[in-house]
Amino acid sequence: MVNPKSLGADEVYRQCPVEDLDFDTTESLEDLTTPCGQERVVEALQFGTGIRNAGFNLFLLGSRGADRHQLIKRFLGDRAVGESTPPDWCYLYNFETDDSPRAISLEAGHGRKFRADMDQFIEELRTSVPAVFESEEYQSRMQELQEEVEQRQQKGIGAIEKEANENGIALISTPTGFTLAPLRDGEVMDPEEYEKLPDKKRRQIEEKVAELQKKLQQAIQGIPRMRKELRKRVRSLNEEMILFTLKGPISDIKERWSHVPDVIAHIDAVRDDVVENADAFRGERGGGPPEELLDRYRVNLLVDNAAVSGAPVIYEDLPNHHHLVGRIEHQVRNGALSTDFSLIRPGALHRANGGYLILDARRVLTHPMAWESLKRVLFSGEIRIESLERLYGLVSTTSLQPERIPLSVKVILLGERTLYYLLAHYDPDFLELFKVEADLEDELERSDDNYPLYARMLATVARRAELQPLDRGAVARMIEHASRLAGDQQKLTANDRILRDVLMEAGYWAGEDKSPVIEAGHVQRAIKERRERAGRMRRRSLEQIRRGTVLLATEGERLAQVNGLSVIQLGGFSFGRPMRITATARPGRGQVVDIEREADLGGPIHSKSVLILSRFIGSRYAGEGELSLSASIAFEQSYGGIEGDSASLAETCALLSAIAKVPLKQSLAVTGSINQHGEVQAIGGVNEKVEGFFDVCREAGSLAGHGVLVPASNVDNLMLEREVRDAVEAGTFNIYPVTTVDEAIAALTGTIPGEPDEQGVFAPDSFNRRVADRLSTFADRAARRRHGGKRKETGNRDDPDNDDEL
Amino acid sequence: MMSSEDREKSPNAQQRRIVVLFDASPPSLQALSAARDLAARLNAELHAIYVEETDLLRSSAFDFAREISILSGSSRPLQSDDGAGNLRRHLRRLRAVLDEVADAGQVRYRLLVRRGEVVREVLDIAGPDDVLVLGRVGWGARLGRSIGSTSLMLARQAPGSVLIWSEPVATRASRVVMLAEAPETVPACLALACDRARVRGSDLSILLCPLPDAHAASERERLIERHLASFGIRAHMQELPVANTANVLQALGRERAVELVVSRRGGLLDSPVAERLLERIRLPVSVAA
């Protein structure tokens, strides 16, 4: 076993050779038509938008940095242009059931024309129809009708009056009817004189009066029938006059819209309604028809596609229930809420009908009922406008139930992967409705072949953001930064939003320098400034270490103490922070106490890693014998939670140091996880961790022999900052790739770890032999205790870790 | 309400009364509103006359007398045992209606109750300075009459001017039309016609009835022109070839008449032509003394 060899500067950073880029500036590069490295997503989008079957809606998922909106809008924009424009939709008054407005579709752009035609027709109604009613002809015919019926009414009564007069009886009007009385000399007879008449004469008169009363009753009871007949004849007259007046305008409209049966039916219904409401059209003393009546004939143009070329692409940025399915507004009339078909407002689904609707999944899910409404509409294939108040029964005001509108739309949900998988898991409808999954790549392969493509992507981004072009150096620096963002020498980030932000900042600094192109220095400054702006916590952390508030040694050797490395993520910025890890070891029941877990500060992965390392120690050093160990591990001065297994190598080293009583070098920091066989495994955030320790060492004084032990499998992830690279090149700071615990021990202790022989016994004087011997001593003591029953004379009986009483 | 200008133009306003015949029938209610407006404009006192007819009183005294309801045709006894109570109730209703109508115009008013024959009682009350306002017909409308005999008799016999009121129909009618007869009838008739035209804000048309000699015709034209000039009003004049019902009706239609003004002193009002004319037209008719 030899000490691990430190990496060279070229191994901790992969540069992008400027000479590989065969252009001067990105101005000469063409725009990228398809997103770089997203061919699989583009294919999914082509499939998802091409297939017309129900349920094949799309979910475009990707990480936060990916500019999903730009991508989908660009894609759909190109696609929709070649598609046919969907029809306009109008709501009209329903003359049969006034609370269910009718929906009709018209060819795109014809909705406006229909609305204008109806407005013009209404103006015609407003002036022509009242004029008809004021005309001499109408007045005269109406008078004739009324007089005729009145005469018929009065004829019967008049005949009775005549008969009464002929029999010497008067028909007298009273305020509430008629009465009959005997006459003499043209006046009603005095009752006293009447009494003097002979009985026979009086009887004749009274019989005649009774007969006439009966006839009078019959005549009066026939009056309602005659009035009904009058109404019927008045209606016929109104119809005749109105139809004559409106014949021209109605014919014109019908001729223009003869190809649309729904419009023809509506015009016929309007005509009938005008006839039905002739009285209202006559108005009060020539005041004209009431506006409420005329408004019924207007057109509510719900969806106007006149200005749309191709299929509509709608993005709804506030996808609540009403904005999706539309709403029915109300207005206050005489203190009460009322509504009509003209107050129906479209939703995004109406506007996107026949095209594409883009929605943010998270926003849809966070608005009450929006998700349920969207699913309901997609399942039914129809848009039904229903207000939330009505759905929940919160208000009982009158409302409408507009006719449903058939829906043909492709919905594209945009969201993070977590959302997609949560929906797929918990909502059984989700995969029924969103069958096409378009998963954006987070990273692209970094290869010489991809450089020109990536450069074109940067050129496109710069052009769209109206930035200066980039020179070759700037492109190379951007590619290197993309690799750093991907955390991989072999990859480039596909998160174009972050790249665009960096480019825009670089463009700003280029502008400050009055440079016509963005150079590498501008890109570097943008990266540095971003880091500085977000670096308050990082600086504070360094200060605490420098002032000794947080204890961390970077010189000398210490027993059972090692520098571990953690990563702190704050918003979009992360940095590495070294932490002291300590361990203790004493005889016990063969367990390692994870203090973080005991204090409820450790996460489950961390707990798992501690269990793994304890089993590694047990199986490696105790062999078939008994492991008598009571150990503990702690992250010193850690007041937040610890999660992850990337410290398990450091923890193992600290524990082995405690058991073997061999000190560890404090000039080195350790990161990496281990398995039960002592092999070192890859971890995340390696760059931040290395740079974090580098910063601490530099703050503590001059660099000399400092370094970090990293898993060998993480070497490809190294994309370290220039300052670190310079130190590596100068040999003052070293990166040691390790593959086993033994390699880490060798580097940290300067001793030979030692290999076991065939019997599993380690070489004398080796580090591992010291570990095994100490554990054997622990086991012997434990065995003696068990067999001898001798109690330990010293030790705190209250100590829960006091396991010596075996 | 009467304007100050109107008051200045009406020197006899304090003496003048607007007398309206009122029996609570629909036409008489319309006449009451018109009379109220007139009283307000002239700042005159409104006198509403109600005449309890002898015939009706007598008929209720017969044991066999029954009333047939105009609404349902049902028959019920006429209650004669409590005649005074009926009258009181009826008068209370009339008073309430009158209070409401008159208060709306803020005019001084009075209810006069008489018992007897209607025409006689009204003529007994109305003086030459009074304006008598009548509905075209009372309860007799139910018997098919469009102009009641009472209204016609009062138009012919009243000492002062008479307005036979009809509710105007909604048309674009715009002219007050005067029927001009003999020259001596012109001044009073034209004065009333000009007044009515001014009140309505309408133009004035004059229908010239044929006269037996040319001298009378020219004298009439001279008088008309002189009076029009003095009133500051222009009028459209039209000659009638024959003063019969048909010609007058046609002329009224052509002129889009909103009101007709005639003179009592001309022969037309007493002729059967006037009766037929009043039966046919549905316009307010003003009769000049």
What is the per-residue pLDDT across A349-388, written as a single tens digit (0 to 9) for each?
A: 999 999 999 999 999 999 989 999 999 999 999 999 988 7
pLDDT reading at B86 higher than 80: no
Contacts of A135 (CB under 8 A, 6+ apart): A241
Distance from the B16 Cα atom to the nearest Cα atom in chain A, whole angstroms? 31
Q: What is the mean pLDDT of residues A660-665?
A: 95
pLDDT reading at A18 higher than 60: yes
pLDDT reading at B69 higher than 50: yes
Integer Cα distance of A479 and A294 in angstroms: 67
Mean pLDDT is lowest, of A167-171, A587-591, A746-750, B101-105, for A587-591
Greater model confidence, A397 or B44: B44
| Structure tokens belonging to residue A387 | 């207000």
Distance from the B270 Cα atom to the nearest Cα atom in chain A, whole angstroms? 22
Residue A306's pLDDT is 94
Q: What is the pTM of this model?
A: 0.67
Burial class (CB in 10 A: 0-12, 13-18, 19+), A793: exposed
A380: annotated active-site residue: no
Q: How many helices (H) and strands (E) does chain B have?
A: 10, 12
State the CB neighbour count (10 A cutoff) for residue A618. Answer: 19
Which backbone phi and psi does B165 adopt, to 5 degrees? -90, 135
Residue B81's pLDDT is 53
- Calculate the CA dihedral of residues A764, A766, A767, A768 and round it to 10 degrees: -60
Q: Where are the alpha helices (DSSP H) in chain B?
A: 4-9, 26-42, 54-59, 83-105, 118-125, 149-157, 186-200, 214-231, 245-254, 272-280
Mean pLDDT is lowest, of A32-46, A306-320, B140-154, B241-255, for B140-154
HSE value, Cβ hemisphere, 13 Å, CA-based, for A144: 8
Integer Cα distance of A413 and A437 in angstroms: 10
Task: Name the percent of chain A lying above pLDDT 70.
Answer: 96
Integer Cα distance of A303 and A426 in angstroms: 35
Q: Which of A410, A638, A689, A766 is catalytic?
A: A689
Nearest to A651 by CA among A592, A697, A695: A592
Type of residue numbered B128: P
B89 in contact with chain A, both atoms CB, cutoff 8 A:
no
pLDDT reading at B8 higher than 70: no
Kindly tell me the sign of the dihedral angle through the C-alpha atoms of A483, A488, A494, A499: negative
pLDDT digits (tens, 9 = 90+) for A4-13: 889 999 999 9
B70 in contact with chain A, both atoms CB, cutoff 8 A:
yes
Distance from the A272 Cα atom to the nearest Cα atom in chain B, whole angstroms? 24
Integer Cα distance of A364 and A318 in angstroms: 8
Contacts of A562 (CB under 8 A, 6+ apart): A580, A581, A650, A651, A653, A654, A657, A664, A669, A670, A748
Residue B104's pLDDT is 85
pLDDT reading at B10 higher than 60: no
State the CB neighbour count (10 A cutoff) for residue A594. Answer: 25
Are A379 and A372 spatial neighbours (Cβ–Cβ below 8 Å)? Answer: no
Integer Cα distance of A611 and A617 in angstroms: 10
Residue A791's pLDDT is 47
Buried b (16+ CB within 10 A) or exposed e, B64-95: bbbbbebeebebeebebeeeeeeeeebeeebe
pLDDT reading at B3 higher than 80: no
Nearest to B39 by CA among B67, B82, B10: B10
Residue A153's pLDDT is 75
Among A171, A174, A214, pick the best mutation site for testing chain B contact (most B Cβ within 10 A). A174
With tokens 């009835």, the residue in question is B209
Are A114 and A257 spatial neighbours (Cβ–Cβ below 8 Å)? Answer: yes
pLDDT reading at B13 higher than 50: no
pLDDT digits (tens, 9 = 90+) for A514-541: 999 999 999 999 999 998 888 888 899 9
Long-range contacts of B101-106 (CB under 8 A, 24+ apart): B101/B29, B101/B32, B101/B33, B101/B36, B102/B36, B102/B46, B104/B36, B105/B1, B105/B36, B105/B37, B105/B39, B105/B40, B106/B1, B106/B40
Greater model confidence, B88 or A260: A260
Residue A803's pLDDT is 41
pLDDT reading at A795 higher than 50: no
pLDDT digits (tens, 9 = 90+) for A604-615: 898 899 889 988
Integer Cα distance of A158 and A220 in angstroms: 12
pLDDT reading at B14 higher than 60: no
Three-state SS for A247?
helix
Residue A800's pLDDT is 42
Element containing residue B51 per DSSP (H, E): strand B45-53
B143 contacts A171? CB cut-off 8 A: yes
Mean pLDDT is lowest, of A141-150, A448-457, A796-805, B12-21, for A796-805
Paired with A400 in beta bridges are none
Type of residue numbered B137: V
Integer Cα distance of B195 and B189 in angstroms: 10
A179 contacts B68? CB cut-off 8 A: yes
Nearest to A375 by CA among A314, A312, A437, A325: A325
A144 in contact with chain B, both atoms CB, cutoff 8 A:
no
A705 in the Ramachandran plot: left (φ > 0), alpha (ψ -120 to 50) or beta?
A: left
- The one-character DSSP state at A712 is G
Contacts of B24 (CB under 8 A, 6+ apart): A175, B90, B93, B94, B97
What is the Cα gyration radius of chain B?
20
Are B63 and B27 spatial neighbours (Cβ–Cβ below 8 Å)? Answer: no
Cα dist from A36 to A26, A32, A40, B113, whole Å: 16, 7, 11, 105
Integer Cα distance of A4 and A746 in angstroms: 8
pLDDT digits (tens, 9 = 90+) for A103-114: 999 999 999 999
Residue B83's pLDDT is 55
State the CB neighbour count (10 A cutoff) for residue B9. Answer: 12
Residue B9's pLDDT is 38
Contact list, B67 vs chain A (CB under 8 Å): 174, 176-179
Q: Model confidence at A794, in pLDDT bands (50, 70, 90)? A: very low
Contacts of B72 (CB under 8 A, 6+ apart): A220, A221
pLDDT digits (tens, 9 = 90+) for A714-766: 999 999 999 999 999 999 999 999 999 999 999 999 999 988 888 888 988 89
Cα dist from A35 to A112, A451, A491, A494, A738, whole Å: 39, 14, 16, 9, 38
Measured at the alpha carbon of residue A112, what is the angle toward residues A109 and A118, in degrees to the nearest 5?
140
A176 contacts B69? CB cut-off 8 A: yes
β-pair type (A668-670, A561-570): parallel
A646: annotated active-site residue: yes
Of B62, B66, B172, the CB nearest to A213: B66
B60 contacts A179? CB cut-off 8 A: yes
Q: How confident is the prediction for chain A on average, in pLDDT?
A: 88
pLDDT reading at A659 higher than 60: yes
Element containing residue B285 per DSSP (H, E): strand B285-288
Paired with A529 in beta bridges are none
β-pair type (A591-594, A630-635): parallel
pLDDT reading at B1 higher than 50: no
pLDDT reading at A797 higher than 60: no
Q: Model confidence at B143, in pLDDT bands (50, 70, 90)? A: low
pLDDT digits (tens, 9 = 90+) for A221-251: 888 888 888 888 888 888 888 888 888 899 9
Residue A319's pLDDT is 96
Are B221 and B209 spatial neighbours (Cβ–Cβ below 8 Å)? Answer: no
Residue B256's pLDDT is 83
Contacts of A341 (CB under 8 A, 6+ apart): A91, A92, A93, A94, A101, A300, A400, A402
B67 contacts A174? CB cut-off 8 A: yes
Burial class (CB in 10 A: 0-12, 13-18, 19+), B13: middle
What DSSP assignment string belongs to A611-670?
Answer: HHHHHHHIIIIITTS----EEEEEETT--S-B-SSTTHHHHHHHHHHHHHT-EEETTEEE
Q: Model confidence at B92, in pLDDT bands (50, 70, 90)? A: confident
Residue B80's pLDDT is 54
Residue A341's pLDDT is 92
Residue B25's pLDDT is 84
Contact list, A184 vs chain B (CB under 8 Å): none
Distance from the A107 Cα atom to the nearest Cα atom in chain B, whole angstroms? 44
Cα dist from A82 to A57, A72, A74, A91, A760, whole Å: 20, 16, 14, 28, 75
Most confidently modeled range among A185-194, B136-145, B187-196? B187-196
Q: Model confidence at B11, in pLDDT bands (50, 70, 90)? A: very low
Are A566 and A675 spatial neighbours (Cβ–Cβ below 8 Å)? Answer: no
Integer Cα distance of A526 and A154 in angstroms: 102
A142 in contact with chain B, both atoms CB, cutoff 8 A:
no
B65 contacts A180? CB cut-off 8 A: yes
Which backbone phi and psi does A565 adopt, to 5 degrees? -130, 130
Residue B5's pLDDT is 33
A158 contacts B142? CB cut-off 8 A: no
pLDDT reading at B75 higher than 60: yes
What DSSP assignment string belongs to A149-179?
Answer: HHHHHHHHHHHHHHHHHHTTEEEEEETTEEE
Residue A648's pLDDT is 94
Are B4 and B43 spatial neighbours (Cβ–Cβ below 8 Å)? Answer: no
Contact list, B73 vs chain A (CB under 8 Å): 216-221
Residues 190-249 of B with CB under 8 A from A: none
Integer Cα distance of A423 and A418 in angstroms: 9
Q: Model confidence at A285, in pLDDT bands (50, 70, 90)? A: low
Residue A2's pLDDT is 57
Three-state SS for A798?
coil
A139 in contact with chain B, both atoms CB, cutoff 8 A:
yes
Distance from the B243 Cα atom to the nearest Cα atom in chain A, whole angstroms? 22
Q: What is the mean pLDDT of residues A193-222?
A: 88
